[in-house]
């Protein structure tokens, strides 16, 4: 059956379709047609909150290489059973956070997708790796570099693959940005600016350091950091190496809602300096509303509104408006790509090392905001 995730994106440049883009399109079409049919890998979702419920579970129904075979939840008798009925998997595939080690005895499970609050990603990833399962951890990979190192080490010693839920690497607009970064008739990008913010209505775990590790930088600013690295580095190779800034400066904004943001930032802005001199400024907030970037290149520019959303991205370049039709499901593509990595025994292009790079940048941003001065991200 031809699902939306199967269908190749048709590119409508109202502006100019370059030869490079046409060649890429042809290559990806050939690859899709040549890929042999293969078994679907069993995926377990860990943490049945908003993202797992409204995005990942529906996206799994659109994948070609994955199927939802189980869940990990703190409420196995209610939520777990409800999911088993709704998605047609056996109740023996309902686990709790304390019984994840038992997955080792369940050959139906190939991939564990961790969708818990940020500070629990390391715990749940390491538990899954110890059970011998490949892992996708949601972003941010963890709350500090030390945890990322522990996750990478656990996956390496268990011989399983690790990937991060960076869905925008599978979105055609962001893929086009990465392609243009390496197109000498357009790039490289020389001045990058972006921001992502929403207004938090009431206090949730995202504003608690213990569970979130930080404030909007961890949750939203990470997309702006990713945009800068995409614009400077272009398409990434499986497993890296990944481009990283050589220095970081940052400043926290004032707290107009101190009761809500008692132990995390309410807003923060930063500048990343890359080795080739491109400055990337970014901002994020839980008390404002913006979702955009504008990146200037040597021979053009690329900008987007609704830039970091699941769909409805509105983008244009100096060559004209950009439309990709029909819309893709970013999460279905992301999960299928990881399943293909597992099946082909290759590293993900959004690997644990990339997640670690971003935590190193985030740590440097917080360090600069706290003490001032330029910081170098540690051991990227
Ligand atoms: P959520 O609050 O809706 O869900 C979190 C889930 O974790 C809940 O089911 C909750 O019961 C469970 N949980 C387990 N232990 C918990 C504990 N000790 N305290 C609180 N909850 C606990 O959050 P969400 O929006 O689904 O986000 C989950 C993760 O997914 C976060 O890391 C977030 O950054 C990430 N996320 C990624 C995207 C994306 O586009 N890639 C979008 C949304 C969320």
pTM greater than 0.85 (yes/no):
yes
User: Which pLDDT tens digits describe the chain residue by residue (380 residues)?
Assistant: 333 333 333 333 333 333 333 333 333 333 333 444 568 999 999 999 999 999 999 999 999 999 999 999 999 999 999 999 999 999 999 999 999 999 999 999 999 999 999 999 999 999 999 999 999 999 999 999 999 999 999 999 999 999 999 999 999 999 999 999 999 999 899 999 999 999 999 999 999 999 999 999 999 999 999 999 999 998 998 888 999 999 999 999 999 999 999 999 999 999 999 998 889 999 999 999 999 999 999 999 999 999 999 999 999 999 999 999 999 999 999 999 999 999 999 999 999 999 999 999 999 999 999 999 999 887 66
Q: Which residues pair with 304 in a beta bridge?
A: 293, 315
Q: What is the rounded CA–CA span in Å between residue 309 and residue 360?
A: 24
Could you identify the atom of ligand 1 that is nearest to the CA of residue 121? 32
Structure tokens at 124: 């749940």
Identify which of 45, 46, 49, 358 to mutate to test ligand 1's pocket (most ligand atoms within 8 A of the CB).
Answer: 49
- Give the sign of the dihedral formed by CA 144, CA 147, CA 151, CA 153: positive
Residues 305 and 297: beta-carbon distance below 8 Å: no
Residues contacting 240, CB < 8 A, separation 6+: 351, 353, 354, 357
Q: For residue 48, give the ligand 1 atom closest to its CA.
A: 9
Alpha-carbon gap, residue 253 to 285, rounded angstroms:
9
Measuring from each residue's beta carbon to the nearest atom of ligand 1, which residues come in under 6 Å? 47-52, 74, 115-118, 120, 138-139, 165, 167, 205, 211, 219
Q: For residues 266 and 216, what is the distance between their CA atoms, to the nearest angstrom?
A: 7
Task: Please name the residue whose Cα sits nearest to atom 44 of ligand 1.
Answer: 51
Among the atoms of ligand 1, which is closest to the Cα of residue 53? 26
Pairing of strands 287-297, 189-199: antiparallel
Neighbours of 190 (CB within 10 A): 17
Q: What is the 3-state secondary structure (H, E, C) of 123-178?
A: HHHHHHHHCCCEEEECCCCCCCHHHHHHHHHHHHHHCCCEEECCHHHHCHHHHHHH
- Ligand 1 atom closest to the CA of 166, numbered from 1: 41
- The gap between the terminal CA atoms of the chain, to the nearest Å, is 43
3 state SS of 306: coil
């Amino acid at each position: 059956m031809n699902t939306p995730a199967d269908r190749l994106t048709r590119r409508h440049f109202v502006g100019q379709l370059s030869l490079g883009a046409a060649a890429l399109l042809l290559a990806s079409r050939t690859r899709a047609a040549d890929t042999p049919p293969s078994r679907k890998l069993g995926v377990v979702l860990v943490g049945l909150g908003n993202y797992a419920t409204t995005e990942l579970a529906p996206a799994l129904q659109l994948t070609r290489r994955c199927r939802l075979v189980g869940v990990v939840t703190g409420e196995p008798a209610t939520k777990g059973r409800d999911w088993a009925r709704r998605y047609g998997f056996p109740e023996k595939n309902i686990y709790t956070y304390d019984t994840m080690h038992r997955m080792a005895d369940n050959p139906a499970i190939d991939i564990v997708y961790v969708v818990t609050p940020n500070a629990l990603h390391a715990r749940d990833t390491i538990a899954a790796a110890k059970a011998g399962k490949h892992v996708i951890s949601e972003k941010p990979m963890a709350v500090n570099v030390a945890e990322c190192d522990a996750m990478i080490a656990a996956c390496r010693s268990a011989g399983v693959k690790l990937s991060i839920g960076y869905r925008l690497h599978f979105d055609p607009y962001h893929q086009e940005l990465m392609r243009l970064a390496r197109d000498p008739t357009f790039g490289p990008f020389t001045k990058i600016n972006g921001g992502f913010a929403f207004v938090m209505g009431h206090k949730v775990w995202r504003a608690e350091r213990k569970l979130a590790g930080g404030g909007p930088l961890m949750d939203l600013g990470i997309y702006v950091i990713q945009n800068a690295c995409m614009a400077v580095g272009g398409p990434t190779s499986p497993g890296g190496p990944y481009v990283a800034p050589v220095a970081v400066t940052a400043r926290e904004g004032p707290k107009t809602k101190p009761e809500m943001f008692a132990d995390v930032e309410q807003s923060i802005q930063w500048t990343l300096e890359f080795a080739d001199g491109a400055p990337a400024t970014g901002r994020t907030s839980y008390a404002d509303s913006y979702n955009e970037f504008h990146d200037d290149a040597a021979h053009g520019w690329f900008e987007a509104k609704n830039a970091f959303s699941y769909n409805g991205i509105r983008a244009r370049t100096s060559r004209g408006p950009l439309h990709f039709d029909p819309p893709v499901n970013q999460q279905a593509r992301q999960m299928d790509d990881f399943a293909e990595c597992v099946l082909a025994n290759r590293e993900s292009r959004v690997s644990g090392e990339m997640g670690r790079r971003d935590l190193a940048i985030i740590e440097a941003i917080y360090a600069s905001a706290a003490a001032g001065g330029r910081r170098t991200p540690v051991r990227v």
